[in-house]
Every structure is written in structure tokens, then in C-alpha cells.
Amino acid sequence: MAEHTTTADPFGMWRDWMANSERQWNGFLNDAMATDEFSQTMGRMMDGYLNLQKNMNEVMGRYLQLINVPTRNDILAIGERLSQIEERLDQIEDGLLRRDAGQPASAAGAPLAATMPRPPRTKKPARA
């Protein structure tokens, strides 16, 4: 046993040390981050970031309006309307597929995969 310990792998010991150090640091930092002070500081930093973001949005919005270029909000509004159109198209397509459900899949405009042969749904668990 004694001889075995003298051959201890220094790299293995280093890895163990790394793992232990990581655990200890995580524990220590988690304890520090689980305090009101930390949350308060994070809240303040977030406030600062949001202020900056808000100011930038306003300044940029005014500038874009001045040079007659659509703002982010204008583009988002178009995006939203496009999404609504997509949604309506999906509903129409869905309705057509339902109407054609009685016809062969390929005729109903189903994707190619739907026309491919599928395995039977007969599988039973091995231990059943």
C-alpha cells in the first residue's frame, strides 16, 4: 500500500485539486451572490443599462424620423403585420388540407414525406 501511494499520479492530484478548487470557488461566490447587496448591485447595473438603452432608442428614433427613415418600431410593426398575414395563410392552407383530407395525400398538396411509406404501428415492448 505504501509503495502504491508513492507512485501517486501528480497529474491526477492536480486534477483533484482543480476539481476541489472549482467547487470551493463556486460555493464561495454563490454565497456572495445570494445576498441582498449583490441583488441590489445587479439591479442598479441593470437600471443603468436600461437607461442607456432607452436614451439611445429615443435619440436614434428622433434622428431616423428627422432623416425620413423608418425606425425600429416601424419595422417591427410591419413584421407584426406580416406575421398576421402568415398566420392567416396558414389557416387557409390548413382549411384546404382538411377539405382535401379524403383525397390521396399527394393530391392534397401534402409534403413529400407524407406520401412516403411508413412502418406499421404494431411494435410491442420486448418484455410485454
Partner 1 sequence: MTAPARETTVEERVRQQIERTIQRSIKGLEYISTGDPAVGLTPKEVIHARGTLKLYHYRPQSDEVYRVPVMLVMSLVSKPYILDLTPGQSLVEFLLKKGFDVYMIDWGVPRPEDTKLRLEDYVLDFIPDCAERVMRDSEEDEVSVIGYCMGGQLATMYGALHADGPMKNLACFTTPVDADGMTLFKQWTDRRYFDVDRVVDTLGNVPPELLFASFDMLKPAARVAKNVQLWDNLWNDEFVKSYRMFDRWAADQIPFPGECFRQVTKEFMWENKFAKNELEIGGRRVDLGKIKAPFIHIVAEHDHIVPYEAAKPLVPMIGSEDKREVMLKGGHVSLVAGGNAIYRLWPQLESWLGERSV
Amino acid at 61: G
| 3 part of the interface to partner 1, by CB under 8 A | yes
Q: Which of 48, 63, 65, 83 forms a contact with partner 1 (CB under 8 A)? A: 83
DSSP letter for each residue of 47-77: HHHHHHHHHHHHHHHHHHHHTT---HHHHHH
CB-nearer residue toward partner 1: 51 or 65: 51
Residue 65 in contact with residue 71, Cβ under 8 Å?
yes
CB-based contacts of 106, cutoff 8 Å, min separation 6 = 115
CB-nearer residue toward partner 1: 20 or 65: 20
Residue 94 in contact with residue 109, Cβ under 8 Å?
no
Q: How far is the CB of 28 from partner 1 (least distance, A)?
A: 9
Residues at the site binding partner 1, with contacts judged by CB under 8 A: 3-4, 6-7, 9, 11, 15, 18-19, 21-22, 25-26, 29-30, 33-36, 38-40, 42-44, 46-47, 50, 53-54, 57, 72, 76, 79-80, 83, 86-87, 90, 111-114, 118-128
